[in-house]
Structure 1
Amino acid sequence: MEGFLPVGHAVGWTLASAPVLAWGVFKLKRRLAEQPEQRMLLGVATAFAFVLSALKLPSLTGSSSHPTGVGLGAVLFGPLMMVPVAFVVLLFQALLLAHGGLTTLGANLFSMGIVGPFVAYGVFRLLRGAGLVPAVFAAAALGNLATYVVTSLQLALAFPDASGGVLASFLKFGGVFALTQVPLAIVEGLLTVLIVNALQRFNRDELARFPLFQRSEVKA
């Protein structure tokens, strides 16, 4: 949340995220200039990420968690294009919903907008041969979980345990999120499969333009 990270950590994560964001903006502009017809699907992926990540749910351990929604865009457009999308989503949520914050924007972007999409895309590529449904489900679910693993690490680095250090703090913060985040990751995976299923059914020709979706079928 706003102001939670020490200044040095907030600045450090911002500096780590900035070059990836710039690269993502460049790739996004070039992609849309070459294939402007993909704006509609990009809008769907952006709306999906905004709505899901805005669902702030109480954690069983007293914190709060939310889905990320970045897996859909990652498997469609690749992870780099989701970095500016996640930046816009997180910025609007910080300004309009008091969800996250401006000082923590770099850290939140790194976990949700960089690590999450890259993990999701990597899992999707790895499992694509096993079928579209398991690949999409695993990509969305594991991208979600990876976001919170990194968030736990960010918090552990900022607030190491007095006796156990960073590792003990990481396990503590991971435990805070785990009970709520695991079922949320499963739900996000299922919702992402439903969206891809709908796209396959109603917009198959457009989806076929994406290399990883060519000659693919969604199976029940």
Structure 2
Amino acid sequence: MGILSFYLVIGASSPAYAMHIMEGYLPPSWAIFWWVVAVPFLALGWRSLSRITQANPQLKLLLALSGAFTFVLSALKIPSVTGSCSHPTGTGLGAVLFGPMAMSVLGTLVLLFQALLLAHGGLTTLGANAFSMAIAGPIAAYWIYQLIVRFTGKQRIAIFLAAALADLLTYIITSLQLALAFPASVGGFMASFAKFASIFAITQVPLAISEGLLTVLVWNWLQSYTVEELELLKFIKTQPQSNESI
């Protein structure tokens, strides 16, 4: 709790540009574009969540825990020496447990509450932020976990890499979104992408490693105290209609 309190104090007291793209920052055309891209994933995610909760209401608490984990981690603003700030994402855990489509909805709800309550991100930029953190990151986490477990059988390593690489991919996608919207006058998209990526990179790599380690600790705790729920999830994933293969 001491470390968490320290992060919260530091994050709250340091105004800076964060990985959530702030309200009004994107041109309207790009804000609309990312909303259009995100909506189909959210529709699939809503269907996935509805199926999970209707057939297995005992998993609602674990779903809430996944959402809370994402909310707490992604609300931490860690100042960077570059003058910006970065944050963990917390989406890897939920993606591994429930699949990337379910996490797209949970992650977007987290971003919505943060925009309304914490002034992190915004409503017009919610589509862009959702795509980077709640869609692209969880998809990467899910497939990284699946591939590593399938070929090595090392679950904890798979959890660590899924969470860490989902975190890194989120900042890469955010940098790409900003570069597309604001290409450099000299060098165009690539020069702009390099500039935006470098702003986050110094803090994001250690943050990704830290998030991976923390997610492994939470996973170990879940294996000790939510055995029945994890076994139920394992059974659900073996059913053909429950496999999410995006």
TM range (shorter): over 0.9
Instruction: Summarize deviations over 1:115-148 as a string: whole Å, max 9, x none.
Output: 0000000100011134111000000000000001
The aligned residue for residue 113 of structure 1 is: 134
Are 2:184 and 1:154 aligned? no
Instruction: Summarize deviations over 1:25-57 as a string: whole Å, max 9, x none.
Output: 111111110111110110110100000000011
d(CA) in 2 for partners of 1:118, 1:51: 20
Partner of residue 225 from structure 2, selected from 199, 202, 205: 202
d(CA) in 1 for partners of 2:154, 2:81: 34
Are 2:90 and 1:72 aligned? no
Q: Give the residue type in structure 1 aligned to 2:61.
A: M
Partner of residue 103 from structure 1, selected from 124, 129, 132: 124
- 1:82: Cα distance to partner? 0.4
d(CA) in 2 for partners of 1:59, 1:22: 35
Q: How does 1:24-103 map to 2 (within 5 A)?
A: 24-103=45-124
Task: State the identity %.
Answer: 57
Provide structure 2 residue ranges, at least 5 long, that are not aligned to the other structure: 1-21, 238-246
- 1:206: Cα distance to partner? 1.8
Cα distance, 1:15–1:81 mapped onto 2, change above 3 Å:
same
d(CA) in 2 for partners of 1:59, 1:2: 21
Count of equivalent residues:
214
- 1:205: Cα distance to partner? 2.4
- 1:213: Cα distance to partner? 11
Instruction: Summarize deviations over 1:63-105 as a string: whole Å, max 9, x none.
Output: 1111000000000000000011011100000000000111110
Instruction: Summarize deviations over 1:138-196 as a string: whole Å, max 9, x none.
Output: 00000000001000000000110111010111111111111100000011101100110
Partner of residue 36 from structure 2, selected from 5, 8, 15: 15
TM-score (normalised: structure 2): 0.85
